[in-house]
Amino acid sequence: MTPDNPPEFEFLKDGRVVLPSNADPAAYGTVVHGWMKHHVGMDLGRNDPSAIVVIRDECYPQFTGRGFEQELGERRCTVVFQETIQLYSYTDLADFLARRLNQIPH
């Protein structure tokens, strides 16, 4: 693993991230699972606009340098989407939020 040759992560449908290796399966504990998740927050406004924020939470596995042993790398949280909405009906807000959530993986 060098800067010219970054690791090839495997992204599972449940949001886990795996760093494949050819380690012996009997060497339990040498492989860790990272993750890439999205967290959504919404502030419902009555007289002021409502707000939506989406945060990507990611932490990838990396090799420790001791054989095939792996550890979790640095955890990063990044705001990837924010929006304010001026809708007064809570049902309209719920429909709007449902459409936005369908656009977010994991």
The pairs formed by 43-52 with CB atoms below 8 angstroms and a separation of 24 or more are: 44/90, 44/93, 49/84, 49/85, 49/86, 50/84, 50/85, 50/86, 50/87, 50/93, 51/82, 51/83, 51/84, 51/85, 52/81, 52/82, 52/83, 52/84, 52/85, 52/97, 52/100
Rg (CA), the chain: 19
pLDDT higher than 60, residue 72 = yes
Within a domain: 26: yes
DSSP state of 5: B
Cβ atoms of 21 and 29 within 8 Å: the answer is no
Q: pLDDT tens, 14-47?
A: 888 888 776 666 556 677 889 998 888 988 877 8
- Of 11, 49, 51, nearest in space to 33 by CA: 11
CA distance 50 to 40: 13
Quote the number of domains for the chain: 1
Q: Is residue 2 part of a domain?
A: no
Residue 5, domain member (yes or no): no
Q: In terms of pTM, does the model score above 0.75?
A: no
Query: Looking at the domain assignment, is residue 86 inside a domain?
Result: yes
- Which domain covers residue 56, as residue numbers? 10-101
Identity of the amino acid at 61: P
Segment 54-64, tens digit of pLDDT:
899 999 998 88
